[in-house]
Amino acid sequence: MSRPFTRIEGEPRNPTAAAFSGVSTSTLTTVASGAIEAALLRELRPRGFLFLCVANSARSQMAEGIASSLAPAGVKVFSAGSQPASVRPEAVAVLKEIGIDISHHRSKSVDEIPAAEVDTVITLCGEEECPLFLGRARRIHWGLPDPAAVTGSDEERLQSFRAVRDELHRRLKAVFVG
């Protein structure tokens, strides 16, 4: 089975290894992309997640919605961007297809996020430079393609949003459910 997303040239193969000192070696067995990060995060039990991309209009909004639906009680979930734009209607539509309502979401700047409540930052930029978060948090990079950059018919654009939604759901389910 081919992977729908590939590592971007120059992206570290394991950008989070240094952030997880003291984690047992049994956690490091993996067969699928993202499984190491998921296992480490389950073991570390983060209490606050921040999903970042440039516009906070698609990937990070979908990640916030999916994570909020899967995270246990008490886990805070935020999303933000360095250049906030309007939430993409396609993101709202494809999450609605799986029973998650983000129609009330708005794009937020990184400056609006309470840094003290975030212990894990997941950047989602694939092609662009990801924004920085200056808080004290472990950082993970999931380089996903920007579905908003896809041109074509309405259905082709929706398919690109569905592909990113499904990949986010797969990874976040591994983090929160196992």
Catalytic residue among 67, 102, 125, 172: 125
Q: Give the whole-number percent of the chain exceeding pLDDT 70.
A: 75
Under 8 Å between Cβ of 63 and 70? no
How many angstroms separate the most distant Cα atoms in the chain?
49
Its sign, for the CA torsion 147, 153, 154, 158, is negative
Show the tokens assigned to 40: 């480490």
Catalytic residue among 41, 53, 67, 148: 53
Tell me, what's the pLDDT at 32? Answer: 42
Tell me, what's the pLDDT at 39? Answer: 73
Q: Is 70 exceeded by the pLDDT of residue 67? A: yes
Catalytic residue among 50, 124, 130, 174: 130
Mean pLDDT of the chain: 81
Under 8 Å between Cβ of 59 and 147? yes
- Asked which of 107-111, 116-120, 135-139 is least confident by mean pLDDT, the reply is 135-139
Domains in the chain with CATH codes: 46-176 (3.40.50.2300)
Rounded to 5°, angle at Cα 121 from 26 and 114:
135
Tell me, what's the pLDDT at 5? Answer: 38
Under 8 Å between Cβ of 53 and 124? yes
Per the annotation, the verdict on 109 as an active-site residue is no
The closest alpha carbon to 123, from 3, 8, 43, 25, belongs to 8
How far apart are the C-alpha atoms of 142 and 51, rounded to whole Å? 10
Tell me, what's the pLDDT at 86? Answer: 96
Q: Is the pTM of this model over 0.85?
A: no
Banded pLDDT at 128 (limits 50, 70, 90): low
Per the annotation, the verdict on 130 as an active-site residue is yes
